Amino acid sequence: MEQRIERAVLVGVRLDDDGQFDYSMEELASLAQACGVEVSGTVTQNLERPNPSHYIGSGKVKEILMFHDETDSNLVIFNDELSPSQIRNLETELDTKVIDRTMLILDIFARRAKTREAQLQVELAQLQYMLPRLVGLRASLSRQAGSTGGGVATRGPGETKLELDRRRIEDQIARLRRELESVKSHRETQRKRRVKRDVPVVSLVGYTNAGKSTIMNAMLAGIGDGAGRHVLEQDMLFATLDTSVRNIQLQDNREFLLTDTVGFVGKLPHHLVKAFRSTLEEAADADVLLHVVDVSHPEHRYMMDVTEDTLADIGIEGIPEIQVYNKSDLAGLEHPRKQGDGIWISAKQSDDISVLLEMIASKIFGDQVRVNLLIPFGRGDIVSYLNEHADVKETEYTEDGTLIDVELREADRERFSEFIAPPETAE
Question: Distance between alpha carbon 341 and the CA centroid of its chain, in Å?
Answer: 21
Beta bridge partners of 200: none
Helix or strand holding residue 386 (H, E): helix 380-389
Residue 58 makes CB contacts below 8 A (sequence gap 6+) with: none
Residue 262 to residue 272: CA distance in whole angstroms:
11
- Was 367 annotated as part of a binding site? no
- Was 208 annotated as part of a binding site? yes
- Was 302 annotated as part of a binding site? no
Residue 151 to residue 206: CA distance in whole angstroms:
29
- Was 328 annotated as part of a binding site? yes
- Was 207 annotated as part of a binding site? yes
- Was 209 annotated as part of a binding site? yes
- Was 310 annotated as part of a binding site? no
Q: For 333-364, give the secondary structure using H, E and C.
A: CCCCEEECCEEECCCCCHHHHHHHHHHHHHHH
Which sign does the torsion angle of CA 348, 229, 259, 237 carry? positive
- Was 260 annotated as part of a binding site? yes
Residue 75 to residue 356: CA distance in whole angstroms:
45
- Was 242 annotated as part of a binding site? yes
- Was 196 annotated as part of a binding site? no
- Was 184 annotated as part of a binding site? no
- Was 227 annotated as part of a binding site? no
Report whether the peptide linkage leading into residue 336 is cis, meaning its omega lies within 30 degrees of zero.
yes
- Was 326 annotated as part of a binding site? yes
Diameter of the chain measured on Cα atoms: 94
- Was 12 annotated as part of a binding site? no
- Was 329 annotated as part of a binding site? yes
Beta bridge partners of 409: 368
DSSP E strand stretches across 285-340 = 288-294, 321-326, 337-339
- Was 210 annotated as part of a binding site? yes
What's the one-letter identity of residue 390? A
DSSP E strand stretches across 109-222 = 201-206
Helix or strand holding residue 203 (H, E): strand 201-206
3-state class (DSSP) for residue 100: strand
Residue 349 to residue 345: CA distance in whole angstroms:
8
Residues that constitute the known binding site: 206-213, 238-242, 260-263, 326-329, 346-348
Binding-site members for Mg(2+) are 213, 240
Going by the annotation, the residues of the binding site for GTP are 206-213, 238-242, 260-263, 326-329, 346-348
